[in-house]
Amino acid sequence: MIQTLVATLMWVLVASLLIFRRNRADRSITYAALTIAVAMTLNVDAIYTATDPLLGRTNITTLVADALLMTGLFFLGRGVMKTGEYRPRLVRTAVSVPMLIVALLAITATFLFIDRGVTTTRFMSDLGAQPATATYSIINFTYAGLVVATMMVLAARQYRHSFGIQRLPAGLLSLGSAFGVALCLSVLTMDIAHVTGHLDFMRAVQPAYGPLSLLTFLFLCAGSATQPAVRRARHYLRRRRTAGLVTQLEPLWNEATLVRPGLSQADPLAANAEDPERRLHREIVEIRDAMIDPRVSFDISRAERTLLEHAESHLLGLDGVAASSPRTPNEESRS
């Protein structure tokens, strides 16, 4: 049941990323979601029992699913790393191609030494007492734990350096990564307990696996899905705010271009067709030109100067998207 829920979550994430990130140059998060979704789907009992006979009925599907999961985590770690500037050597090493290749070769070599029997959906429960099986799982979840711990460090740092709604994706990724680290530690504990014969201790830890697995993928999916959604919301709010500032500055800009005609007068149709960012920039430049041109007399009030400075800060990205709008020049008397 848990595997089915996780697989469903991952396919929902894949669909959302294909919609919201289709124009992104970096596809690491999308590749991660797709690869992990396939891995989780292969672990669904009904699909596992249907797939494994095609590969020889010796649980090869386990190796395929685990290799895909490791590859998906690699892409996810790379994607999280690329969202920020903090990339120390240890972080780059943890999510590097050589590290992934070494891990994949290690689990493949170890898998060959396992007496795998016939298809079973309880691979670790049935075969975990074998040292080779325990080693296989330990390598697998050590690599996963390393990547997830790296993601937790990166996401926590992004959370500390973000503000407002921008903190939401980083916060969700931090929680998902923390649950992922706990999941990996619980699996490693069960592997060691199983292979050393401490079955009672293994059974005591086992109930944590399902909830931790679900929480890990739930929060990682939520964090990955909200990143493009938050980005789109910020873009929409910025564009709306820019258009508002264009409207607010227009009376002052009209006065400035009356005393000192600018490029807008040369081609008014082209100026009107500009996107809000370019139009706001043009208004600011032509107002400033009128203010500093010694050949003309153009004075503005304190309220208008505040509005102009606010518009300049907005263009430079120094104001928050949610910052309150300044009053228009018409709402304050001229000094």
Over the stretch 128-182, which tens digit does the pLDDT of each residue have?
999 999 999 999 999 999 999 999 999 999 898 887 788 898 999 999 999 999 9
What average pLDDT does the structure give for the chain?
86
**Do 201 and 213 belong to one domain?**
yes
State yes or no: pLDDT of 201 exceeds 80.
yes
Q: Which amino acid is at 267?
A: D
Note whether 9 and 221 are within 8 A (CB). yes
Tell me the C-alpha to C-alpha distance, in Å, between residue 43 and each of 6, 7, 194, 208: 10, 9, 21, 18
Residue 26: what pLDDT?
Answer: 65
State yes or no: pLDDT of 25 exceeds 90.
no
Residue 128: what pLDDT?
Answer: 92
Q: Which amino acid is at 282?
A: R
**Do 83 and 129 belong to one domain?**
yes
Residue 28: what pLDDT?
Answer: 84
Residue 323: what pLDDT?
Answer: 40
**Do 300 and 195 belong to one domain?**
no
Confidence of residue 21 (pLDDT cuts 50, 70, 90): low
**Do 279 and 204 belong to one domain?**
no
What number of helices (H) and strands (E) belong to the chain? 15, 0
Residue 319: what pLDDT?
Answer: 62
**155 vs 269: which has the higher pLDDT:** 155
Interior angle at CA 10, CA 120 and CA 140, nearest 5: 50
> Which residue among 179, 214, 234 closes a domain?
234
Contacts of 31-34 with CB under 8 Å at 24 or more apart are 31/72, 31/75, 32/72, 32/73, 32/74, 32/75, 32/76, 32/78, 32/79, 32/224, 33/72, 33/76, 33/221, 33/224, 34/72
**Averaged pLDDT for residues 297-302:** 85
**205 vs 270: which has the higher pLDDT:** 205
State how far the Cα of 246 lies from the Cα of 112, in Å rounded to an integer. Answer: 67
**Do 153 and 7 belong to one domain?**
yes
> What are residue 306's phi and psi, to 5 degrees?
-60, -45
**Do 271 and 224 belong to one domain?**
no
The tens digit of pLDDT for each residue in 224-238 reads 888 877 877 888 888
**27 vs 169: which has the higher pLDDT:** 169
> The tokens 């040369």 sit on which residue?
266
Angle between helices 302-315 and 276-292 (to 10 degrees): 140
Residue 205: what pLDDT?
Answer: 94
State yes or no: pLDDT of 321 exceeds 50.
no
State how far the Cα of 322 lies from the Cα of 335, in Å rounded to an integer. Answer: 29
Other beta carbons less than 10 A from residue 201's beta carbon = 15
> Which residue among 207, 234, 261 closes a domain?
234
Lowest mean pLDDT among 115-124, 146-155, 268-277: 268-277
**Do 205 and 273 belong to one domain?**
no
**Do 223 and 262 belong to one domain?**
no
C-alpha closest to that of 288 among 308, 315, 258, 265: 308
Tell me the C-alpha to C-alpha distance, in Å, between residue 133 and each of 22, 209, 241, 301: 40, 18, 58, 77
**Averaged pLDDT for residues 58-71:** 96
**Do 23 and 138 belong to one domain?**
yes
Contacts of 299 (CB under 8 A, 6+ apart): none
**Do 222 and 244 belong to one domain?**
no
State yes or no: pLDDT of 108 exceeds 80.
yes
Q: What is the CATH number of the domain that holds 177?
A: 1.20.1070
Confidence of residue 271 (pLDDT cuts 50, 70, 90): low
State yes or no: pLDDT of 333 exceeds 50.
no
**Averaged pLDDT for residues 89-102:** 90
State how far the Cα of 212 lies from the Cα of 186, in Å rounded to an integer. Answer: 9
Domain count, the chain: 2
Enter the tokens of residue 79.
């994607």
Confidence of residue 24 (pLDDT cuts 50, 70, 90): low
Confidence of residue 335 (pLDDT cuts 50, 70, 90): very low
State how far the Cα of 187 lies from the Cα of 209, in Å rounded to an integer. Answer: 7
Note whether 252 and 329 are within 8 A (CB). yes
C-alpha closest to that of 99 among 63, 150, 135: 150
C-alpha closest to that of 188 among 205, 166, 207, 175: 205
**Averaged pLDDT for residues 316-333:** 48
Q: Which domain covers residue 293, as residue numbers?
A: 235-331
